[in-house]
Amino acid sequence: MSPIQPIGSRGPSARRRRRTLRLRTLLTWLAVVPIVALGVQSALAAHRLLEQSEHLRADVDSGERLGVPLYRLMVAMQSERTLTAARWAGTTVPEDDMRERRAATDQAATGFRRSWAPGSAVSEVADRRLLEVSQELDDLKSYRERTDSGIGSADSTLVYYSGVIGQMIRFYQDQLTHTEDGGLSEDTRVVTAMFAASEMVAQEDMILAQAGPSRTLTTSRFADFVNAVGAQRYLYDAWIVPYLPDAQNDLYAQMVRSGAWQTKTRIESAVLAEQSITDDGVKLPRDVKGWKAAQEQWGPQLSTLNADRSRALLARADARATDLETEVAWLIAGSAAALLAVATVVALTTRSVLRRLSRLHDRTVTVAESTLPDVVDRLQSGRPVDSDALPAVRGEQDEVGRISDSFARVVAVSVSGHRQLAAERLGFGKFAAGIASRTGNLVSRQLSLTEELQDTFGHDEALLAELMRADQLTVGMRRQIENLLILAGGEIPDPHTGPMRIADLLREAAAEVEDFRRIERQALDEISVEAAVISQVSHLLAELLDNATRFSPPRSKVVIRAELVADGISVEIEDRGPRVAPATYEEMNGRLHSAPPYAVLAENAHRLGLFVVGHLADGLGATVVLRRSVYGGTSAVVILPKALLVPTKGETGGAPPVASRHSESARTGPSRGEAHTVAASLVETAREEWEQSACSARADGETGRVEPAREAQGGPETAHRVPAPVVREHLESAPLEQEHVESAPVVPEHMEPASVEPERTDAAPLGIAVPAPRGPGGGKPETGPHTGAGLPVRRAQQWSDLRPHEETSRDQPSRDRPPSHEPPRDQAPLDRSSRDRASHERPSHQQSPEASARPARPAEPARDRRPALPERVPQTHMAEQLLGPCRPTEAAAVRDQDTPEEVADAWADYQQGTQMVEEELRQDRR
């Protein structure tokens, strides 16, 4: 077995899963099947009993409707047969007797035909018997005429009568012997035997009457007499008397003890013993003359016995039918009660089982959906776990209890595994955080070394450009190390102590990207971001900007704009990269809306940026949405909540004009607020004039000529300049308060002081004069438009020189520079670029004696070279100064042309990013 192959049988197939029934259904079937079976069995039994009852009712009705008239007809024909035999033998039979017997027979036949109609019998056999009897009765008149006229023979006439009587007896056999009741079947056989025995006695009477006055019988007729005597005796002794009930048995015994029956028995014995054989036949003894008188006595008794037994049989059949109907009623009632009891027991049992299973299911779902995720979350975050909230093993013995205990063991094993994984992850996180921290220190040292090299070789423009590129790559390396810190569960170092304007935050995020020249920033509203989240927001925006620059053409722009919305501030990053499928946007947005788990990295490790952005957005409470832009590329919209924003100081009240503050301070002495205002105006004005001159220099980069900025409309005569000692006096006389330190820039000690003109009170425009560069090519000062916007807050030692390298007073000894009052280190906010290097080797103003004593290289004329780059100050990014926007009057300025190698590298990066996106789209479609 393979190590990764699961142990045990495979799971059920799809067809088998479809056939699997719910437990409720199985328990319902378990109740339904026996209930239905019992109900069907009860119904079948009731149906069978009802059929028996119906048959018995039909037999009783047929016996009363057909049996009684048929029995009367049988007795009447037996009597008529005896007289007919006597007439054929020559015995004188009175006409009145013959007429009376024949009338009785006709009356009985009429009653029979009225009671019977073809098909009214209980069975086809019985109906056929009755049909034969009815047809035979049609010939009765002709046989009577033959008897009266003496035509034909006596035997044929007597055989006719015996045949009709035999059909009647067979009808009784077919009518009453098909019942399924054992007692009734026995009684039916007894009645049939009694009818047969009475027929044997009637045949004896007929045979003796056929002997006539001569008392002579043929041999065959004598044999018939002997058979009749033996048959009737056998029937009575074997089939009738033993099965007679007490009432009929007493009646039979009374008849047998009577003198007439004794005479009958004696004559039968005499005929059998005392006959004599003659030439004419068998001569009977003289005792036969007493047969007729005895027969007139026991004949009615025998008929009464047969009739009573028949009526008793019908009554018993009717009672049995009633009993069967009662039994059916009890069976139905009992079955219904049993079915109700079974259904109740099964329903209660099923309900109890389902209730316990439902409670087990609810506990399982609660543990699986609430308790266990909370425990896992606590373990992953290092918080304690409440063991009482987890299911415990109770040791129950029933099936449901054992399932509950098994689930508790599974949960215990799962929690133990998650605890182990959390411990391992915590250990790995600490290990990765340690590695990232050490690597970050190395990167910080690398940045410091790069800055020192920039300070040392700042006169070499080509080398300085390469050093700045290396510095930018190192900044990107630091961002990747911060990604590692996020993956390890750590936090990004954030040395900021004060809020930052959104425009400065956009600039700081753009500076983190290697291809920052393509990024166009648009801060449409004035707002600041809390100091505690500046690094996280900047890192989030830098990741999105880096993604936008890598997956868009190298010559295209990437626009980042910020504006206030109802829920906070919206930052939109728009590129012009390749199209992305809507399904891919939906998948990426799903990962960005909530912090994705670390298991996502196992599926898409190349989407590390989305993972980092998702975790940062979750921690900030921000919303990040990716969508298609109007240019066909991707637009990333970041909504920062209001809780992360603070109003920019001076935004609502408005700052007083510079000239007014300066005039007031000249009269009454500078205050700390005035010093802050003057310093902020000085630094901002100097920065903007440098940007203007740099843009002008880029516009004329091909000729190498630097064109000075235009003067104010009023001319140099109308420009009021504030001498440098005044600014320095303001800075020295009024130390900054804490609130000013958080928002006001501080002039670095190596920056050349610039003149600040007072606020204009008339229609003439204002300007600020900047000293001309020293050395060859120096001229009169340039003026630029005044702006009231301040620079991002920086520490004093982190300010870069705001003038070109050639225009600085590097050739002036440090001792000749006026002292600068820098705020305390713990009060000045740090720049984003130096947040993890705030406590590094040395501040920028503590330069080595060699560096401070190094003479400045004479500045070359502006016409022979490109505009000089600003001086690099240790632990400070140059992007903020390099990316400063040009003035509207300089819109025609053109950026430096990239080298072929740089263009090739940019296109290679774009193609690689496009191929990666296409590969992801192909994977998503599969």
Digit-coded pLDDT (tens) for 131-142: 888 999 999 999
pLDDT for 246 = 86
According to DSSP, residue 638 is labeled E
H/E run at residue 628: strand 623-628
Confidence bin at 907 (pLDDT 50/70/90): low
Q: How far is it, in rounded angstroms, from Cα 850 to Cα 772?
A: 27
Confidence bin at 801 (pLDDT 50/70/90): very low
DSSP secondary structure letters along 683-726: HHHHHHHHHHHHHHHHHTTTTT--PPPPPPTTHHHH-----HHH
pLDDT for 754 = 36
How many helices (H) does the chain have, and how many strands (E)? 28, 13
pLDDT for 595 = 61
Confidence bin at 109 (pLDDT 50/70/90): very high
Q: What angle do CA 600, 606, 609 make, to 5 degrees?
A: 80
Instruction: Give the pLDDT mean for 266-279.
Output: 88
- Asked if residue 725 lies in contact with residue 710, where contact means CB atoms within 8 angstroms, the answer is no
Confidence bin at 178 (pLDDT 50/70/90): low
Q: Does domain 502-653 have CATH number 3.30.565.10?
A: yes
**How much is the pTM?**
0.45
Confidence bin at 33 (pLDDT 50/70/90): confident
Question: CA-based diameter of the chain, in Å?
Answer: 196
Digit-coded pLDDT (tens) for 505-562: 999 999 889 888 899 999 988 999 999 999 999 999 999 999 999 999 988 999 999 9
Tell me the three state secondary structure of residue 352: helix
Confidence bin at 399 (pLDDT 50/70/90): confident
What residue type is assigned to position 156 of the chain?
S
Cα distance from N-terminal residue to C-terminal residue, the chain: 31
More confident site: 179 or 57: 57
Instruction: Give the pLDDT mean for 160-166.
Output: 92
pLDDT for 208 = 92
pLDDT for 504 = 93
Q: How far is it, in rounded angstroms, from Cα 302 to Cα 300?
A: 5
Q: How far is it, in rounded angstroms, from Cα 751 to Cα 731?
A: 14
Whole-number percent of the chain with pLDDT over 90? 21
Q: How far is it, in rounded angstroms, from Cα 402 to Cα 405?
A: 5
Q: How far is it, in rounded angstroms, from Cα 502 to Cα 507?
A: 9
Which are the contacts of 365, defined by CB distance < 8 A and separation ≥ 6? none
Instruction: Give the pLDDT mean for 804-822.
Output: 36
Q: b or e along 600-624 (b: 16 or more beta carbons within 10 Å of the residue's beta carbon)? A: eeeebeebbbbbbbbbbbeebebbb
- Asked if residue 731 lies in contact with residue 820, where contact means CB atoms within 8 angstroms, the answer is yes
Q: How far is it, in rounded angstroms, from Cα 829 to Cα 846?
A: 19
Confidence bin at 655 (pLDDT 50/70/90): very low
DSSP secondary structure letters along 862-925: GGGSPPPPBPPPTT--SHHHHTPPPPGGGTT--PPPPPHHHHHHHHHHHHHHHHHHHHHHHHHH
Between the alpha carbon of residue 169 and those of residues 163, 295, 421, the distances in Å are 10, 21, 102
Digit-coded pLDDT (tens) for 229-254: 999 999 999 989 998 888 888 888 99
Confidence bin at 860 (pLDDT 50/70/90): very low
CA 528 distance to own-chain centroid: 46
Confidence bin at 64 (pLDDT 50/70/90): confident
Tokens, residue 344: 């109740």
Strand order through the sheet with 216-217: 216-217, 282-283, 276-277
* φ/ψ of residue 568, rounded to 5: 155, -120
- Asked if residue 866 lies in contact with residue 704, where contact means CB atoms within 8 angstroms, the answer is yes
pLDDT for 81 = 92
Give yes or no for residue 625 having a pLDDT over 90: yes
According to DSSP, residue 578 is labeled -
* φ/ψ of residue 545, rounded to 5: -65, -40
Instruction: Give the pLDDT mean for 644-664.
Output: 53
Query: Start-end ranges of CATH 3.30.565.10 in the chain?
Result: 502-653
User: Which of 750, 700, 701 is CA-nearest to residue 870?
Assistant: 750
Cα dihedral angle (168, 172, 174, 180), rounded to 10 degrees?
A: 180
**Average of per-residue pLDDT values in the chain:** 73
Tell me the three state secondary structure of residue 523: strand
Most confident of the following: 238-242, 610-614, 684-688: 238-242
More confident site: 840 or 348: 348
User: Which of 570, 496, 561 is CA-nearest to residue 533?
Assistant: 496
User: Which of 635, 638, 634 is CA-nearest to residue 616?
Assistant: 638
* φ/ψ of residue 371, rounded to 5: -65, -50
Q: How far is it, in rounded angstroms, from Cα 812 to Cα 238?
A: 161
Tokens, residue 277: 């054989």
Q: How far is it, in rounded angstroms, from Cα 542 to Cα 553?
A: 18
Q: How far is it, in rounded angstroms, from Cα 252 to Cα 255?
A: 5
